[in-house]
Structure 1
Amino acid sequence: MERMKMHSRDNVAANVEAVGLLFPNALTEVMQDGKAVQAIDFDVLRQELSREIVEGREERYAFTWPDKRQSILAANAPIAMALRPIVEDSVGRDGTAGAFDSENLYIEGDNLDVLKLLQETYLGKVKMIYIDPPYNTGNDAFVYDDDFAMEGVDFVSANVPYDEHGNMVYDFKKNLDSNGRFHTDWLNMIYPRLKVAKSLLAEDGVIFISIDDNEQENLKKVCNELFGEQNFVATLIWEKVHTRKNSAINFSSSHEYVLCYAKVRRNSIKDNRGWKRNLLPRENTDSYTNPDMDPKGPWKADPITAHNYYAADYTITKPNGEVICRPQDRYWAYSEASIRRFIEDNSILWGEGRSMPMVKRYLCDVQNGLVPVTLFKREFAGDTSQAKRQIDELFSECRGIFDYTKSVDLMYRLAQISLNPGDIVLDFFSGSATTAHAVMQLNAEDGGSRKFIMVQLPEVTDEKSEAYRAGYRNICEIGKERIRRAGAKIAAEAGEKAARLDRGFRCLRLDTSNMTDVYYAPDAVTQDGLFAQVDNVKADRTPEDLLVQTMLDLGILLSSSIVVEEVAGRRVFNVADGFLLACFDRDVTDEVVTAIAQRRPYYAVFRDASMADDSALTNFDQLFAAYSPATVRRVL
């Protein structure tokens, strides 16, 4: 059986492979830790790209900052970490506490590490990403002490400190504006996260990033580099407040930005590639009536002229024989061919006397919706005061539980524009989980099955805050509770429409790898240490922990169905209706192996120490060869 790798995607190896496909003559081998590994001969590659390569100190356009190369390394370096299921914090599809059947995910941990773990499984599967990262206002707290200095294939986990509750401790440092690396530290934080996140986007996917004037310029340059300037869609303006601050020194700030980039931007209506935005529904159609019982249905009268020049100048002959020209200060709104078609279809309202004709605009021709505009006014997408009311209504016993949350309406509009009923949305600066709230609201209204993935660092709450006094020790606890309460509220208000609404989430927490050091570096174990490591799985890890890491390793969505079955007295995990059958118990007999093989799964996974005896181990391959030779067998 082939051993599973049990670490995140190695982007450097993937890039070497991609370059090798284009330029196989640039592939070479180098010795690393006594092993030959593939590498790129850059001298050969320069020869292949000699017309484009920029050598030496020749001036060029570039956006750079100190440690940019380290940021690229941080994005590409693989990690040996794991996501552990927290069943007691999870919520089922119907709101049942402690159930693990939801297709939504809530993940606690450093979002860079989490994105790397999700990278292979969710590669190209996320339709929309929204993030509300720190704005670098001069008092933001970042986590800087990530160690990306691992070399080669040494994936041994670092020594991570834990608190008294067994949770990983993150070292936060405030990025004060007096810091000489003020912009550098922010760029080093955001760049690798966006670089990894891009790989999760589907080809028809889109990313929205909230920001203000502190880093908007730098963020746009980063996105131009990572997503491509040609894939910039728009800078949305969100009207965040409606009051004027007369105490402002210069201007009273009333807006924030939302940068929008497509994975692939469409260049025309007929272009079938890339992100296709949805039209906004028409919310007021009362002005459309049908007083003349027109067979095409309700209509309203529209002017036949406009201020802007649209078509060639021509004359129109009314049924009474009168020939009319366009008014001196206006132009025809339609081409002459269109007017002739309207006349043939009886869609012109000629009026009486010398009045100017009008054209019928039918509801059936326009009901598909409206093109969204880049100005998101507060009446359309809410504002900060509304956002505060929304979360205070959910936490009525603890008003002021979360500062600076985004409006549900803003997230709702972005989802409405970008997502179709079965799509996945990712928010890896989840905060109070506003995005999850909006997705559930949209699903309840149209019966959709959109799925969310929320990722949030368990940043501790201030001991003087309302949240701390209410018993919420970190931001993740607030976010999870908001989803619980918002889901219950939406379901109650929607009634039968929400019968199929998934208002739960599977909770997972970032931790060190489930595997001991010997799994990743068996050559480094001495004879004395060999007897101390009788198992390559850490003693505190459960079969459920191993299952989640196995699913990530094999590229199986973490939202897949999981059923625990008993086979010959052993626990077997049935994932995605038999796609994966995994058994991590000890003393696995021929009877267990036979029962699994007879069900012909695509993947079958066991622990290295699973087999009951040498006989069972010897018979393993023979049993699968007999009953299911196509099954891919893996061991960890």
Structure 2
Amino acid sequence: MDKMRMESVDMTAQNIKKIGDLFPNCITETVDENGKPKNAINFELLKQMLSNDVLEGDEAYEFTWVGKKAAIVEANKPIRKTLRPYPEESVEWDKTRNLYIEGDNLDVLKLLQESYLNSIKMIYIDPPYNTGSDFVYPDSFMMELSEYNDGIGYFDEDGNVNFERENNDTNARFHSDWCTMIYSRLLLARNLLRDDGVIFISIDDGELYGLKQMCDDVFGAANYVGTVTRISKTTSFRGNYFAPSKDYILTYAKSISSLPQFQDEVNNDSQFNKIETNGPRKGEHYRDDIAFYLSTLQTRPNQRYYIECPDGELVVPPGETMPPNGVDGDKAVPVDGDGVWRWERDQYLQKKHLLSFKKTKSSPLLNQNGEKASWNIYTKSYLLDKKEKGNIPRDIFEGYLNRNGTEELKKIGIPFSFPKPSKLIKYLMKISGVTDGDIVLDFFSGSASCAQAAMELNNENGISCQFIMVQLPENTYVVKDGKKVGKKGFEDSFRGGFETICEIGKERIRRVGNNIKDDNPLLSAECDLGFRVFKLDDSNMTDVYYSPAEYSQDLLSMLESNVKSDRNDLDLLFGCLLEWGLPLSLPYSSEQIDGCTIHNYNDGDLIACFEENVPDSVIKEMAKRQPLRAVFRDSSFANSPSKINVGEIFKLMAPDTRIKVI
């Protein structure tokens, strides 16, 4: 029984918890005056999280590396970029809620922070494994070798080497670069997860240890769900000592207390091949499960007792000491036995009707005389119960080989080497409970295996979860002697006509969607098989930051519009959505009113007009619809009085509308 506290709330502990909810990587552990562990704040790291500059101070073991502070600064630094829509490369642009985004995922994650804050149910990523060379994401804040040497104190004040490193300096620097690359992205990704959200990260042996510590830092060690071992290949001739045939899936929750327990469905119905012939469950399929475990009785003292068999024989699991004699079991005594029943005695008395007795000459049980029993006992497990409750999945995944991913792309005519099989990602979606209306994100999407998994899950289960794919438009070729040739590992893809990985991903989604339609024309009618394409680009707005001395008459003519000349209404509309924190996947429409194009996003969430000199009749029609938000260009108004007049019209007709100009 707990005692009453009889004191006021520990506000310091509460404040630490609040800071931990916002910045779990800033929580460390210390001891109180009694030597007991307690949470504390790493103030140096907290200051860095709240600063746009790299702060002075040593980066010592906690887990750290040269560049960690720079990664934090970069994750928090604002950017002047946008996502431009490309309807012509999209499928079912007007009604789809799926997104395919081309661009560096660091910048894309920054742009999604407001629109998808606390919105993502599941993130799956398969980042590039660190091979120490050919680094795909050369972020601008990563260090040159000279900076790295300074950061680790490689040279003393006189320029002499401080210690011998043999031939591992390059590897160490690549390790730091890889950690810096992934750390900044994980910091941003955590913000997007829902409280019941989960992230799965595929990784190999090379960075598993470091990635685990980084994720403890970002998500909090308490939110570690587990590490899955995936058998990736059945034969391998590589490796120096062991042939590599596995990788790992590191799993973390945003808040593990909010994450439902993973549930695996019962896939092998053939195990339940018996049919109940008696009792209230007559006609149901069941299987026999062994009734006893091999376990020390010291930890399960109430699970060793006699059970009476149909012919009166009393049986007990094997053990060094026999329990007291008695039908249906007197209380067992704690002995050093090595066998116990599945249930405690009270459970057995309630569930004894579920026992199945079988005569056998090789029973593992003992009778009341200490001799081998002539019966074995099983418990009945019913198929309907298993399907309803599910099973907790094992942490070793088999049947999801690399070659399976290659084969499924080959079937749709796309050459690409060893992508993750979509069935693996679909399985992760199933066990984590992805359902109707949920969003899944992959910001290292590669060939878009995750998109295929989401579409197939929707089609199979009649749901509509959404996907967001983000991929750097990495070339599949290099230029040699003025000619394009396939890059190592992408030769077949380039020969197949795909010059970037993004082209592979988009075409895969199109072909998978078409196949689903062809295979299930009726069932797929309501399934979202489309996607909206966006591409990362510089801001829609021109740079107007010039000193007075730099102004000229020619320059002033260039500044008549603050919008870049190559941007259209759709560019401006979706740029506004990002700034206002609206999802990019909602429906919208446009119409002509008195010669002006009016854009209506999600039935009044935002109404915009980007025309020049918008007449009052259009302003009044927009205000009449009482949108939540209204957007105009600065040049939509002839002068300041016109702009004031717009405010007055909305104040009268739609007082709750928020108005902005670009």
* Alignment equivalent of 2:597, drawn from 571, 586, 608: 571
Count of residue correspondences? 544
Q: Displacement, 1:303?
A: 3.2
Counterpart residue number, 1:257: 248
Which amino acid in 2 is paired with 1:517? Answer: D
Counterpart residue number, 2:355: 348
Which amino acid in 2 is paired with 1:386? Answer: N
User: What secondary structure does 1:535 align onto?
Assistant: coil
Q: Distance in 1 between matches of 2:557 and 2:246?
A: 63
Which amino acid in 2 is paired with 1:585? Answer: E
Q: Distance in 2 between matches of 1:127 and 1:544?
A: 28
Counterpart residue number, 1:66: 66
Q: Check conservation: 1:133, 1:210, Cα contact below 8 A.
A: yes
Q: Distance in 2 between matches of 1:596 and 1:21?
A: 46
Counterpart residue number, 1:284: 268
Q: Distance in 1 between matches of 2:404 and 2:537?
A: 36
Which amino acid in 2 is paired with 1:392? Answer: K
Counterpart residue number, 1:332: 341
Counterpart residue number, 2:157: none
Counterpart residue number, 2:644: 618
Q: Check conservation: 2:133, 2:174, Cα contact below 8 A.
A: no
Q: Distance in 2 between matches of 1:416 and 1:606?
A: 44
Instruction: Classify 1:109/1:258 alpha carbon distance in 2 versus 1 (closer, same or farther; 3 Å).
Output: same
Unaligned runs of at least 5 residues, structure 2: 1-14, 20-37, 45-55, 144-167, 320-337, 361-373, 478-484
Which amino acid in 2 is paired with 1:255? Answer: K
Q: Distance in 1 between matches of 2:294 and 2:40?
A: 51
Counterpart residue number, 2:431: 417
Q: Map Cα deviations across residues 533-578 of structure 1 (whole Å, 9 max, x no partner).
A: 0111111110100111111111111001111122232111111122
Which amino acid in 1 is paired with 2:407? Answer: R
Larger radius of gyration: 2
Counterpart residue number, 1:315: 306
Instruction: Classify 1:622/1:206 alpha carbon distance in 2 versus 1 (closer, same or farther; 3 Å).
Output: same
Which amino acid in 2 is paired with 1:347? Answer: L
Q: Distance in 2 between matches of 1:257 and 1:351?
A: 42
Q: Which moved more, 1:294-303 or 1:115-124?
A: 294-303
Q: Displacement, 1:473?
A: 1.6
Q: Distance in 2 between matches of 1:130 and 1:54?
A: 32
Q: Check conservation: 1:89, 1:507, Cα contact below 8 A.
A: yes
Counterpart residue number, 1:504: 530
State whether structure 2 residue 422 is matched by structure 1 residue 408: yes
User: What secondary structure does 1:208 align onto?
Assistant: strand
Q: Map Cα deviations across residues 178-219 of structure 1 (whole Å, 9 max, x no partner).
A: 466221221221111111111111111111111112222221
User: What secondary structure does 1:236 align onto?
Assistant: strand
Q: Displacement, 1:259?
A: 0.9
Q: Displacement, 1:532?
A: 3.0
Q: Check conservation: 1:515, 1:536, Cα contact below 8 A.
A: yes
Counterpart residue number, 1:6: none
Instruction: Classify 1:524/1:191 alpha carbon distance in 2 versus 1 (closer, same or farther; 3 Å).
Output: farther
Instruction: Classify 1:509/1:625 alpha carbon distance in 2 versus 1 (closer, same or farther; 3 Å).
Output: same
Q: Distance in 2 between matches of 1:548 and 1:524?
A: 35
Map 1:3-402 onto structure 2 (within 5 A).
Answer: 61-92=61-92, 99-144=93-138, 146=140, 178=170, 181-245=173-237, 248-265=239-256, 273-286=257-270, 287-292=272-277, 294-296=279-281, 297-308=284-295, 309=297, 310=300, 311-317=302-308, 323-328=314-319, 330-343=339-352, 346-350=353-357, 355-368=375-388, 369-377=390-398, 379=399, 382-395=400-413, 401-402=415-416
Q: Distance in 1 between matches of 2:585 and 2:41?
A: 44
Counterpart residue number, 2:474: 459
Q: Displacement, 1:587?
A: 2.4
Q: Which moved more, 1:433-442 or 1:611-620?
A: 611-620
Q: Distance in 1 between matches of 2:423 and 2:255?
A: 26
Counterpart residue number, 1:172: none
Which amino acid in 1 is paired with 2:137? Answer: V
State whether structure 2 residue 465 is matched by structure 1 residue 450: yes
Instruction: Classify 1:21/1:66 alpha carbon distance in 2 versus 1 (closer, same or farther; 3 Å).
Output: closer
Q: Distance in 2 between matches of 1:446 and 1:570?
A: 44
Q: Which moved more, 1:433-442 or 1:247-256?
A: 247-256
- Aligned-residue CA RMSD in angstroms? 3.1
State whether structure 2 residue 660 is matched by structure 1 residue 634: yes
Q: Check conservation: 2:448, 2:508, Cα contact below 8 A.
A: yes
Q: Map Cα deviations across residues 284-316 of structure 1 (whole Å, 9 max, x no partner).
A: 223254341543343333333222354433333
Q: Distance in 1 between matches of 2:635 and 2:539?
A: 18
Q: Distance in 1 between matches of 2:612 and 2:431?
A: 51
Q: Check conservation: 1:83, 1:511, Cα contact below 8 A.
A: yes
Q: Map Cα deviations across residues 269-296 of structure 1 (whole Å, 9 max, x no partner).
A: xxxx322244111122232543415433
Q: Which moved more, 1:367-376 or 1:310-319?
A: 310-319
State whether structure 2 residue 607 is matched by structure 1 residue 581: yes
Unaligned runs of at least 5 residues, structure 1: 1-18, 24-48, 93-98, 150-175, 266-272
Q: Check conservation: 1:581, 1:601, Cα contact below 8 A.
A: yes
Counterpart residue number, 1:430: 445
Identity of aligned residues (%): 40
Q: Displacement, 1:404?
A: 2.9
Q: Distance in 1 between matches of 2:618 and 2:61?
A: 63
Q: Distance in 1 between matches of 2:348 and 2:461?
A: 38
Q: Distance in 2 between matches of 1:145 and 1:366?
A: 49
State whether structure 2 residue 560 is matched by structure 1 residue 560: no
User: What secondary structure does 1:192 align onto?
Assistant: helix
Which amino acid in 2 is paired with 1:634? Answer: K
Q: Check conservation: 1:90, 1:100, Cα contact below 8 A.
A: no
Which amino acid in 2 is paired with 1:459? Answer: E
Q: Distance in 2 between matches of 1:416 and 1:22?
A: 32
Q: Displacement, 1:373?
A: 1.0
Higher normalized contact order (CA 8 Å, seq sep 6+, divided by chain length): 1
Instruction: Classify 1:182/1:301 alpha carbon distance in 2 versus 1 (closer, same or farther; 3 Å).
Output: closer
Q: Check conservation: 1:142, 1:189, Cα contact below 8 A.
A: no
Q: Displacement, 1:110?
A: 0.7
Q: Distance in 1 between matches of 2:525 and 2:226?
A: 37
Q: Distance in 1 between matches of 2:519 and 2:658?
A: 47
Q: Distance in 2 between matches of 1:534 and 1:439?
A: 46
Counterpart residue number, 2:635: 609
Q: Distance in 2 between matches of 1:366 and 1:582?
A: 53
Counterpart residue number, 2:32: none
Q: Map Cα deviations across residues 345-398 of structure 1 (whole Å, 9 max, x no partner).
A: x43345679634443322332223121111011x2xx21111111111111xx6
Q: Map Cα deviations across residues 109-167 of structure 1 (whole Å, 9 max, x no partner).
A: 11100000001111111111111111111333333353699xxxxxxxxxxxxxxxxxx
Q: Displacement, 1:325?
A: 3.8
Q: Map Cα deviations across residues 483-538 of structure 1 (whole Å, 9 max, x no partner).
A: 111111123223422221111110000000001123x7899984754443011111
Q: Displacement, 1:476?
A: 0.7
Q: Check conservation: 1:608, 1:635, Cα contact below 8 A.
A: yes
Q: Distance in 1 between matches of 2:625 and 2:43?
A: 58
Instruction: Classify 1:342/1:525 alpha carbon distance in 2 versus 1 (closer, same or farther; 3 Å).
Output: farther
Q: Map Cα deviations across residues 396-443 of structure 1 (whole Å, 9 max, x no partner).
A: xx6xx2223111121111111222232111111111111111111111
